[in-house]
Amino acid sequence: MSLGCVVQNMWPTAEARRIGMQVISVFGDQHVEDELRRILSIPQYMKIAFACRLGYPSVPPGRYVPVRRNAPRFTHRNSLISHGD
């Protein structure tokens, strides 16, 4: 729950400053976590909960790169079809 609150506050704060933020979930893999722990000298008793990238997007101002797909393009809503019965 605490991590959700952290991200909930970090993301809009970053966006307000025009800084891009991306949560990276690959660190949940034990091998990746162990390697990162070794590279950064993180003590074994500490757990890597999540990681994120922060930076300025390479897209020119005013242009929008869609992150999410348009839902109607890949979803279907079931409906009754009348066959004249």
Give me the residues paired with residue 51 across strands: 24
Contact between 22 and 67 (Cβ < 8 Å): no
List pLDDT tens digits, range 28-85. 788 888 898 899 999 989 888 778 889 987 766 666 666 666 767 767 677 666 555 4
- Torsion region of 84: left, alpha or beta (phi above 0 gives left; psi -120 to 50 gives alpha): left
Taking the alpha carbons of 11, 17, 18, 21 in that order, is the dihedral positive or negative? negative
Q: Has residue 10 got a pLDDT over 80?
A: yes
